[in-house]
Structure 1
Amino acid sequence: MGFNAFDDFMFSFGPIFFFIVFALVIGFFIVVIVKSIGQWSKNNNSPRLTVPAHVVTKRAHTSGGSGDSSASTWYYATFQVESGDRMELSVSAKEYGMLAEGDIGMLAFQGTRYLGFERK
């Protein structure tokens, strides 16, 4: 029994295909890590600001949770500052629960990093 043309092709192309997929997956993880480190560094080099703002809206994003896997939830709040600019910042579950749409106060942040909100 010999190989047919398709088996011959797959036998020679299979390792190359596997390497390409492996390289793409590794490349994706490297890009995500580099972008995360860049954002972290940019936040660290940004000034810490405290400005008057109000809470425009809140949202939660949940993923996973099918079958036996657990769900993960990320919480966000959108703030509007006096200039009219809006920014959506990631907040902890505790902060998310304490914020209400329409709250007015002082927003503390550093780049895209939420530091706190003190209601007036």
Structure 2
Amino acid sequence: MDTFGLYFVGFAPIFIGAVFVIVFGFIIFAIISSVKQWNKNNNSPKLSVPAQIVAKRANTRGGSGNSSASTTYYITFQFDSGDRLELQLSGKEYGMLAEDDLGVLTFQGTRYHSFERK
């Protein structure tokens, strides 16, 4: 076997191991981040404040070939102070709300609870 072949045979397991560690690291990081956000939301106060819907957006992923599409819905609320907050919500809630709606937003951290129109 030539020198390149010996080098490649020694390098391949190291490369595969490194890729495995990197992918596994990203998965662990995502899980830890999700748990931290969930815990932060649980420890945040549940607030009900006057707000206006200023923007709606939907993010669709997948849907090519045999895979199905997945859509995530977001609404941006603006408070009397001028501050804005974008929250993720269900498709049903998203469809019931319109830009420029005024009402009372109830949320906890980054967790949407409800929006009652005035």
CA distance in 2 between partners of 1:82 and 1:50 (Å): 13
What is the SS of the residue equivalent to 1:79? strand
Rounded Cα–Cα distance in structure 1 between residues aligned with 2:60 and 2:4: 44
4+ residue stretches of structure 1 with deviation over 6 A? none
* Superposed CA offset, 1:35-88 (max 9, x none): 000000000000000000000010000010010100000000000011110000
Please give the root-mean-square deviation of Cα atoms over the aligned residues, in Å. Answer: 0.5
1:36 aligns with 2:34: yes
Q: Structure 2-normalised TM-score? A: 0.99
The normalised TM-score by structure 1 is 0.97
SS, match of residue 69 in structure 1: coil
Residue among 105, 113, 116 paired with 1:115:
113
- The whole-number CA distance in structure 2 between the counterparts of 1:51 and 1:89 is 14
5 Å-filtered alignment, 1:70-89, equals: 70-89=68-87
SS in 2 for 1:55: strand
Q: Structure 2 stretches of 5 or more lacking a match?
A: none
Unaligned runs of 5+ in 1: none
Please report how far the alpha carbon of residue 7 of structure 1 lies from its aligned counterpart in structure 2 after TM superposition. 1.1
% same residue: 61
